């Protein structure tokens, strides 16, 4: 059994208030949790309007499934938000 952790750093240049950012973050986190049954939360940059940092974690039975899930989540985020993925840090333990 392995633990998969991914941190996504997103840039949303059109966001001009924390209220706008909160709507985007809550929607994306809810979609991730419903689609993939992973834990997800905003973990950093809460006070900066245009930067979003979301962490996800899941328990997977083997490395092949971890790799597949990482790729699926990355594609899902790219397709479900207009924000640009600046960085994605992946870790399997």
Helix or strand or coil: residue 40?
strand
Residue 53 has φ and ψ, to the nearest 5°, of -125, 115
> Over the stretch 10-29, which tens digit does the pLDDT of each residue have?
999 999 999 999 999 999 99
For residues 37 and 58, the answer to whether their CB atoms sit within 8 Å is yes
The answer to whether the predicted template modeling score (pTM) of the entire model surpasses 0.85 is yes
**25-69 pLDDT, tens per residue?**
999 999 999 999 999 999 998 888 899 999 999 999 998 999 999
Torsions phi, psi for 49 (to 5 deg): -60, -45
Which domains does the chain possess?
2-92 (3.30.70.1120)
Gap between the Cα atoms of 11 and 3, Å rounded:
26
User: How confident is the model at residue 35, as a pLDDT?
Assistant: 95
Which pLDDT value is given to residue 1?
87
């Amino acid at each position: 059994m392995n633990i998969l952790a991914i941190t996504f750093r997103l840039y949303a240049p059109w966001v001009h208030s924390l209220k706008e950012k909160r709507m985007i973050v809550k929607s994306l986190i809810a979609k991730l949790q419903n689609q993939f049954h992973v834990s997800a939360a905003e973990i950093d940059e809460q006070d900066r309007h245009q930067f979003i940092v979301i962490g996800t974690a899941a328990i997977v039975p083997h490395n092949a499934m971890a790799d597949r899930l990482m790729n699926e989540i990355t594609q899902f985020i790219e397709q479900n938000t207009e924000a640009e993925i600046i960085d994605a840090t992946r870790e399997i333990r």
